[in-house]
Chains A and B, each alone.
Chain A
Amino acid sequence: MKDFIKACFLVAYRDLRRFWKFKHWLAAQLAMNLADVVIFALVLNNMVNRDYIPDYVKFMSTGVLAIATFASAFSIGREVGGEMRREVHHYLLSLPAPRAALAAGRFIGGALRGLVYQLAFIVLNLLVVGVPGPVQALAIAYTSLLFSLSMSALAIAVVSSTRDFNLQSTFRALIYYTLFFFSNVFYPKELISLRFPGPLAAVVTHAPISRAAEVYRWGFGYYQSLDPMALPEVTLWAIILLAVAALLYTRNLSRQ
């Protein structure tokens, strides 16, 4: 067990350390996420229908917290894909570490990236939206942890399914954009229910990013109440995605 934990820690540490190396990616991602709040939301605030969204800047700040965490946790997929193309995974597979520790370490590494990256946006939300109470703070921390863990696992499992660069990127982009757009980050669920067919509204409402964004909106005080199913759904998403991802990743790694 001690060996397992040590290997897991070392693998996670390797991914977290490397996060800083992609300065260009971080800078671009930060610019995009910040621009969504300080430019897009601020300007659009003058145009949005107040009946739906009383304050679009606050609405978007909490939403951006969800997509920032998602995007940074999801970014681990890019590297895992790169490693598979360069056959760096052969090196990882040859190391004296159990396969399960390898998978767990990578999921945790990706999750830690998400958590580290979201810190700046938590500060932004504290300044722009409000300060959470102790229960809300716990809910935010719980959601962040599970959400980033499940998104990191999802990215890793998807990208390890193929060694073809084009396919890897297409899968990643497809999932990224689907999760990104089919969420309530940019538009409230009430509007989705009004303008889109029922099943689509349900998909958007129960999507992992939507659920995380909802917890954040309630946590920082933008919403007064929280759907009682939001936190259980965040947990459920995490369990399902982690289980599937662990299976897929270990199978894909040792497929040869």
Chain B
Amino acid sequence: MGALSDLRTLALFAYWDLLRMRRRTMFVAMRVVWFALQVTLFALALSAMVRFRGYVSQGLDYYHFYLLGVYASILFSISTSNAYEVAEEFEEGIIEYHLSLPVKRRILTLGRAIGGGLAGFIFTLPMFGIVLALIGGATPWAVAASLAAALAFSIGVVGLVLSIVLSVKSGDATDVLFGVLDAMIVRLSTIFYPAVVLSKVAPYYYAAVSNPVSHFVDLLRTFFFFEEYRVLAVSDPAIMASYLLGFVAGLVSAAVYVVERKLEGGGWR
């Protein structure tokens, strides 16, 4: 009975985030335009501009390499955008309302992380479909594994968002932190360039190989271009998958910790 009730509550909190995402039509439109221009113009121009053959074997060109990068970056960006939602909820007193409900903190946090992750995942599904079509010839196994990885990644990023926003408890700090994080994490990852190119600037290389975005995007690339890409990826596929799982478990646990131990008794600045 208790477990069933917890599950129901968890589903309700996940639903809360799904509803919020549904209302953000502006954000959806903006990201769709960004995505369309990225895959049609930016990626094509960039692939014409770079010398990629020197790094990879036959069968993988920069355009296909970058397509999965665009998908990873849009999923990351949409998942981090939850930060602004949560900050707004704090300012509107909704977080206090949630804390006042007869719900376990753990369930509340898990529900929000899963809901936010699910919302980002569902929202980017059409874009994932377009990327798949542009890549062509993907195996069902690769598609299923990529979707599972994408959902896990999105939940992990929302866990990160909840941990940070609920710790700093400041709208301004949230804006600055996530603006900078979005700019830096994407550029210091293997979204635009393979790790081997980054290795020429040592600090960037180490930042990229420890960056969860790199692990996620390279895992996707390995799923689709296994033979061609495995030598370029930041790590071994099993290690990348483990890293991703650790990222999700660690950050969702961090969010639970913040909500259970740090959030209560503190105001919003």
Contact = CB atoms under 8 A, between A and B. Distances in A.
Determine direct contact between A and B, CB below 8 Å: yes
Interface stretch (B7-15, B145-153, B194-202): B194-202
A47 B51 contact: yes
A173 interface: yes
Contacts of B179: 24-25, 27-29, 31-32
A187 B49 contact: yes
Interface in A209-247: none
Interface in B165-196: 172-173, 175-176, 178-180, 182-184, 187-188, 192-193
Contact of A31 (B29, B55, B180, B197): B180
Contact of A39 (B45, B46, B187): B187
B51 A48 contact: yes
B82 to A, nearest CB: 16
Nearest to A29: B179
B51 A170 contact: no
A181 interface: yes
Nearest to B38: A181
B62 to A, nearest CB: 8
Interface residues of B, number: 39
A254 interface: no
B37 A177 contact: yes
Contacts of B182: 28, 32
Nearest to A32: B183
Contacts of A196: 41, 44-45
Interface string A152-186: 00000000000001111110011001100110001
A43 B175 contact: no
Interface in B1-58: 25-27, 29-30, 33-34, 37-38, 41-42, 44-46, 48-52, 55
A52 interface: yes
A169 B34 CA distance: 13
A28 B183 contact: yes
Given A32-B179, A170-B26, A23 B172 contact: yes
A195 B193 CA distance: 21
A138 to B, nearest CB: 32
A43 B41 contact: no
A165 B26 CA distance: 8
B204 interface: yes
A48 B50 contact: yes
Contact of A170 (B30, B46, B175, B193): B30
A194 B47 CA distance: 13
B37 A194 contact: no
B50 A181 contact: no
A97 B268 CA distance: 39
A28 B175 contact: yes
Contacts of A94: none
A253 interface: no
Contacts of A47: 50-52, 55, 193, 197
A36 B182 CA distance: 12
Nearest to B30: A173
Interface of B: 25-27, 29-30, 33-34, 37-38, 41-42, 44-46, 48-52, 55, 172-173, 175-176, 178-180, 182-184, 187-188, 192-193, 197-198, 200-201, 204
7 contacts: A24-B176, A28-B182, A174-B30, A174-B33, A186-B45, A187-B48, A191-B48
Nearest 8 pairs between A and B by C-beta?
A28-B179, A24-B175, A166-B26, A173-B30, A32-B183, A169-B26, A187-B45, A39-B187
